[in-house]
Amino acid sequence: MTNVVQVTHAQIPAWRLRRQSLAPHTTAAPEELAERLAGVQAQVPSAAEPALATRRTEPAADAVWVARAARSVVGTWAMRGTPRLLPTAGGGEPGGWLDLAGGPRGPSGRGVGAQR
């Protein structure tokens, strides 16, 4: 038998805001947020900065650039051929995200070395 969960209309957006780390704000580092969000959309490189800033209690204007310099995040084409900011596995190496996305991708959305 399936259990049915009853929710109110007000609970639905509240749940979404919490799951997307929009409310309440967090002290999480950029790499933690990138992991929670399954990547931060960065089609325009500067777009990742406000996406992270809106989720943090103490936003820093250069958080993405600091995280990239520390190699705790990497910018790559991951899902659906869209540039994303993803957490690294440590040491600057891409984590399992690329495996989940089907391997390295280029701007066309095709795998690297894919035949046309």
Question: Count of CB atoms within 10 A of residue 25's CB?
Answer: 14
Stated pTM of the model = 0.71
Task: Reply yes or no on whether the pLDDT at 57 is more than 90.
Answer: yes
pLDDT band at 76 (very low <50, low <70, confident <90, very high): confident
Q: Tokens 């993405």, residue? A: 64
Is the model's pLDDT at 66 over the cut of 50? Answer: yes
Give the dihedral of Cα atoms 28, 32, 33, 38; nearest 10 deg.
-160
Least confident of 38-42, 61-65, 88-92, 96-100: 96-100
